[in-house]
A = this chain, B = another copy of it.
Amino acid sequence: MTRPSEDDLIARFFAPLATSAGADGLTDDAAVVPEGEGDLVVTKDMAIAGVHFFPDDPPGLIAAKALRVNLSDLAAKGAVPSGFLLGLGLPPDWTTDFLAAFADGLGRDITAYGCPLLGGDTVKVPGPLTLSVTAFGRATRTVRRRGARPGDLLCVTGTIGDGALGLAARQAERQPATAPDWLRLIAPEERAHLVDRYLSPRPRVALAAAVARHASAAMDVSDGLVGDLAKMMAASGTGARLDAGAVPLSGAAAAAIALDPALRMRALTGGDDYEILLACPPDRLAALRDDAAAANVPLTVIGEVTEGAEVSWTAGGQVLSFGSGRFEHF
C-alpha cells in the first residue's frame, strides 16, 4: 500500500476531526482559537514512544492519552477545554492502519470531552513516534499551584496509585517472564483495571468549574502524589500534614498492596494518576463536596495545609519519611 502525502494524510485522517470554524478544515497554516469568557489557559505536554508510552500500546489509546494528560492539566487549573493542536512526528515505520486507529481514538475523545482539533503539524522523524499536544481551555479563575494557605484542606479526586501499579501490570503483559509475584497473584479483573487506568487516564474535566470556584491551589497528580504535593506546598510557601491512611485506593490497588506492602510506596510516589490535588478553604469544603458529587467525581480529604515548610506524612500515628524519594518507613 502506498502511503499518503502529508496533505492527503491530513485531509483523510485529521480534517474530519477539525470541526471548529477556527480550524478552517486544516487547510491553512494557522487556526483561530474560539472566543470565550474568562482566562485562556494553555498547556503543552509531549509524549514520546518508549518514554511516555509503549510503542505497541493500542494506537487509539496512545492518541487519547496524549490529549487527556493535557485536559488533566487544564482541569486542575479550573479550565474547561476549548480545543487543541496536535504535533505528530511519525517514525519511519508508520502505517495507514496505525494512523486510522490513532485518529479514531482521538475522534472519540474529541467528542467525549468537547475539545475540537484546531490544527497542528505533521512531520517525519528518524526516531520514535513523537506527540506534542497543545490544549486550550477557559477558566473563570485560573487556579495556580501557589495559592494554598495554612488551614486549607488538601483533597484528591478518585484513587491514587492505579497508574503506577498499572504501568507495572502493562510491563508484565509485555514481558510475562518478568512479572513480580503480586501480579501473578492478583485477580485478572484487578490486573485489567490497573492496566486500563495506566493506558486510559480519566481527566477530571467535569470538576474544572468547581476547581475554579472553590480551590485556593490545585495541580494534577502526574508525577506521584508525594512529589507533586511537595511541589504545590513549596510553590505556596506552606507546609502540610497528610494522613497516608486517608489516601483513596481502588480495590485493585488495595489488593495489590495487601499482597506486597511495599507497593504502598509506589502508589504514593508513582506517577500517571491524572487525578486533581487541590487545597480548599474549610468554609468552601461543603460546597466543593456538593459540586464534586454533582459531577460524579469522588473527592477525599487527605490532610491540611500548615504554616512553615515541612510536609509530614503519617499513617496510624507513625511518621513516614520519603527521604530522597525513597519510602523509608511505613
Contacts and interface: CB of A to CB of B under 8 A. Distances in A.
A260 to B, nearest CB: 29
A76 B214 CA distance: 42
A134 to B, nearest CB: 4
Count of chain copies = 2
A120 interface: yes
Interface in A236-290: none
B40 A40 contact: yes
A48 B124 CA distance: 8
A51 B124 contact: yes
A77 to B, nearest CB: 5
A33 B83 CA distance: 14
Interface in A11-58: 24, 27-33, 39-46, 48, 50-52
Interface string A205-231: 000000000000001101000000000
Interface of A: 24, 27-33, 39-46, 48, 50-52, 73-74, 76-77, 79, 85, 87, 89, 118-121, 123-128, 130, 132, 134, 136, 142, 144-146, 219-220, 222, 235
18 contacts: A24-B144, A27-B146, A28-B235, A29-B43, A30-B42, A30-B43, A30-B77, A33-B39, A33-B41, A42-B119, A42-B134, A44-B120, A44-B121, A44-B134, A46-B123, A48-B126, A51-B124, A132-B132
